[in-house]
Amino acid sequence: MNLITIQVVHNNNKLFTVAYRPGMTILELINQQFLDPKKEGIPNLCNKGACRSCTIKIIDKAELLAEATKGEQRALAVGRTAMALGYRLACKCYFKAAPEERTT
């Protein structure tokens, strides 16, 4: 199973491991398991990428994630520099789509 480890920047640098699941954001995957996600999981204010409250750092397996959109890069303010250091926005960050299985 593909797992990715992330660090939540605005929640005491908590670490979470997320299983590969395309179609949901990292924010949704983490926060669905908590009654009070803003305290226990990934805080978020706008869910649009503008507030940057859901900034995360990808610790490993970044290759499992879809490329950041231009909007996500702009929202991180320092764009490519932050991205190169592994920072993303959990509300905009998705796993890559699963490759289609070949049938023969």
Q: Is residue 100 part of a domain?
A: no
Question: Where does residue 93 rank: exposed (0-12), middle (13-18), buried (19+ CB within 10 A)?
Answer: buried
Q: Is residue 102 part of a domain?
A: no
What is the reported pLDDT for 100? 54
Q: Is residue 52 part of a domain?
A: yes
Q: Measured on CA atoms in the order 2, 66, 21, 102, is the torsion positive or negative?
A: negative
Structure tokens at 101: 């299985």
Q: Is residue 61 part of a domain?
A: yes
Structural domain of 7: 3-89
Q: Is residue 80 part of a domain?
A: yes
Q: In what side-by-side order are the strands of the sheet with 3-8?
A: 15-19, 3-8, 55-58, 87-89
Q: Is residue 68 part of a domain?
A: yes
Name the domain count of the chain: 1
Q: Is residue 82 part of a domain?
A: yes
What's the pLDDT band for 80 if we cut at 50, 70, 90?
low
Q: Is residue 99 part of a domain?
A: no
What is the reported pLDDT for 79? 56
Q: pLDDT per residue over 38-79, tens digit each?
A: 889 999 989 888 888 999 999 999 889 999 888 888 888 665
Q: pLDDT per residue over 87-104, tens digit each?
A: 999 999 999 886 654 444
